[in-house]
Chains A and B, each alone.
Chain A
Amino acid sequence: MDQAAVTALLQTLAQGLLTGGLYALIGTGLSLIFGVMRVINFAHGDFLAIGMFITLALFRAFNLDPYLSLLVAAPVGFALGFVIQRFVLARLGDRLSEGSMLATLGIGLIVSNTLLLTFGAQPQNINVPYATNTFQLGGVQVSIPLLIAGLGTALAIAGLNLLLYRTELGRAIRATAQNPLGAELQGVKTTNIQAIVFGLGVAFAAIAGVLLMPLLYAFPTVGENYTTKAFIVTVLGGLGNLPGAIAGGLVLGVVESLGAFYISNNYRDAYGLVAFLLVLLLRPEGLFGRTVKRV
């Protein structure tokens, strides 16, 4: 390989890893929810869209720097998730994952169509001077907003890790994931824990939306694509497996990036889907997980 080819490969990899970091953030939220409640959240991408539109609205109204919107979007996401789990999904009770899946599908439609009514269908972006800034690193160009997004992702995931493994709340969450009944018997209020977990998952999606806003156009159905990405990440990593979700996100980012560069950019979204189907077929426990019950 000559010099230019190596640089191009490094460039593609860097791009893939940074995008993958964002996918990891989205996938972590979904995987967290699945891990504790066994619910596949079909509204995940739509919560991301909420994050984007909060950023957009605050920028339009107060000229607020997009990254400061995190202070609004994350709590709003958490509150929204908490309320949805506590007052909607929890009411489905034992009627299991299928009912909850459908309910989240409905919530997703409500969210995206409400955004459509409020903001219109036109794709909108915000003009911040650093949106297109890059810096050079050994011939590889790195986009500044993408790098910030990557750092934000790393911080958010580290924070989640601290919460899960260093706090009493984290112990309660892990206990609820492992055995809800057992946790309940130990005095854990599992309904509250589940609401908190759903809140955290939605907050993660909203954070990802904020981090993406300087890079992308926001439109009401933008979430659909990211719901799919989150599924792919979660399945690649193993359903409910958090470290797996991070690795899955990075893998997805790199696979897409390499495929787009070396095969065809038109099929960018397809590489992840194909990887997803292959993993589903060959290693349903995910690339990094333990075995799943087979029929």
Chain B
Amino acid sequence: MTVTAPLPAARPRALTFGNVWLSLALLAVMLLYPFVFGKALNFGVSTLVFAGLAMSWNILGGWAGQLSLGHAAFVGVGAYTMTLLATPERVPAFLGGPVAPWWGALIGMGLAVLLAAVWGALTFRLRGSYFVLSSIAVALVLRLVAINEEFTGGSEGLFMPELPTLFGLDLFDRRVEYGLALAFVALTLLVTHLLRRSRLGYALQAVREDEDGARALGIDPARMKLVAFMLSAALTALGGSLYAVYLQAFEPHTLLELPVSVQIALMAIIGGRASIQGPVIGALLLATFGEVFRTVFASANLLIYGVLILAVTLFAPNGVLGLFRRGGRKLGTAR
């Protein structure tokens, strides 16, 4: 995209009080959740995993302003790599045996970075809608490979094998998974926060707002986008590995379809792109809505996603967080 919807410009000053309170409130909710809703840990874990994925997406989609509708590709790379390497009968012979899930997750991140590097190097040369289109195609190609190849378990997918314990903790215990998911969200928050204050972060925002202007300042837009893409891919793959552990069994349809990519992107967009807490808020909102509407509309629960996208693009181009901020400042720049 050469130009994007007007986004709240990052102000080069310390965290505002609003941000601090909001962050603390979010953190408190997340920390207390397992104690209050011990029975609904599944919801908690999946919501947190998706919040982390939305944060990871946001590095590219929000800060660099590149709409990706193919992040399911990286979720898939992370999930498949980790699971395949942990399954004794599927591990390539030269590795000598199953790989512990945390090492598998790291390898998955590496592969995702590699994929992003090649894909980004090729597509970021172009302007316009090409990146969006390519992102859909890459994820679809991976999906077809996952469905048709033997080593990926075909359309039946994979089962998670017995996993070694991590510091004596059982990875299939929902409370452990909740903790890991929370750590994942914390990591993505930390990376985003560091990014925002960094040279790279400012360069990305400059590229997002005005590519030609950024170039005039000596920034290489294609390179900046590429770095953001690789970072985003690595974190997304990590989230994918975690999601695989949570699911324990998955198939290409649950991981590599367009709706997965859309869901991730949507959480960040609805919450507020280019903001730190936006994706987390978006994930909480969408997951809750999704859960409620699943009971009302059954399989047509994505209907509410459609309505929400439309509502947000029409009335809150800067997301829910943008609405809050605008409320404070009275009609901002939008429109």
A interface, CB within 8 angstroms of B: 40, 88, 91-93, 95-103, 105-114, 116-117, 121, 224, 228, 231-232, 235, 239, 264, 266-267, 269-270, 273-274, 276-277, 280-281, 284, 292-295
Contact partners of A107 in chain B: CB under 8 A:
306, 310
27 sample A-B contacts, Cβ–Cβ < 8 Å, listed by A number: A40-B133, A88-B310, A95-B317, A96-B1, A99-B317, A100-B313, A102-B269, A103-B313, A105-B69, A108-B306, A109-B302, A109-B306, A109-B309, A110-B306, A114-B300, A121-B299, A231-B133, A231-B136, A232-B137, A266-B148, A270-B145, A273-B140, A274-B141, A277-B138, A293-B128, A294-B125, A295-B211
At the interface, yes or no: B288 with Cβ under 8 Å from chain A? no
Which residue from A101, A114, A266, A284 sits with its C-beta under 8 Å from B130?
A: A284
Q: Are B129 and A40 in contact (CB under 8 A)?
A: yes
- With A95-B317, A116-B300 as known contacts, state yes or no: A106 contacts B140, CB within 8 Å: no
- Give residues 302-335 of B contacting A (CB, 8 Å): 302-303, 305-310, 312-314, 317, 335
> What CA separation (Å) do A97 and B129 show in the bound complex?
8
- Pick the most buried of A97, A232, A294: most chain B CB atoms within 10 A of its CB: A97
Q: Are A117 and B300 closer than 8 Å at their CB atoms?
A: yes
What is the CA–CA distance of A109 and B305 in the complex, to the nearest angstrom? 7
Known A105-B262, A277-B141: A96·B128 in contact at CB below 8 Å: no
Q: Is the CB of B313 within 8 A of A295?
A: no
CB contacts under 8 Å to A, within B1-53, are 1, 3-6
* Cβ A106 vs Cβ B125 within 8 A: no
Is B126 part of the contact surface with A, judged by Cβ < 8 Å? yes
Let me know if A40 and B132 touch, CB within 8 A. yes
* Distance between B315 CB and nearest chain A CB, rounded to angstroms: 10
Is B258 an interface residue, CB under 8 A from the partner?
Answer: yes
Residues of A within 8 A of B211 (CB): 295
B314 in contact with A98 (CB, 8 Å): no
Contact A95 B5 (CB under 8 A): yes
Q: Is the CB of B137 within 8 A of A276?
A: yes
Using Cβ atoms and an 8 Å threshold, which residues of chain A touch B123? 280-281
B258 touches A224 (CB 8 A): yes
CB of A270 within 8 A of CB of B141, answer yes
B129 touching A101, Cβ below 8 Å = yes
Is A269 within 8 A of B140, CB to CB?
A: yes
Contact with A along B243-270 (1 / 0, CB 8 A): 0000000000000001000100000010
Chain A's closest residue to B215 (CB) is A295
B144 contact set on A, CB distance < 8 A: 266-267, 269-270, 273
Quick check: is B124 within 8 A (CB to CB) of the other chain? yes
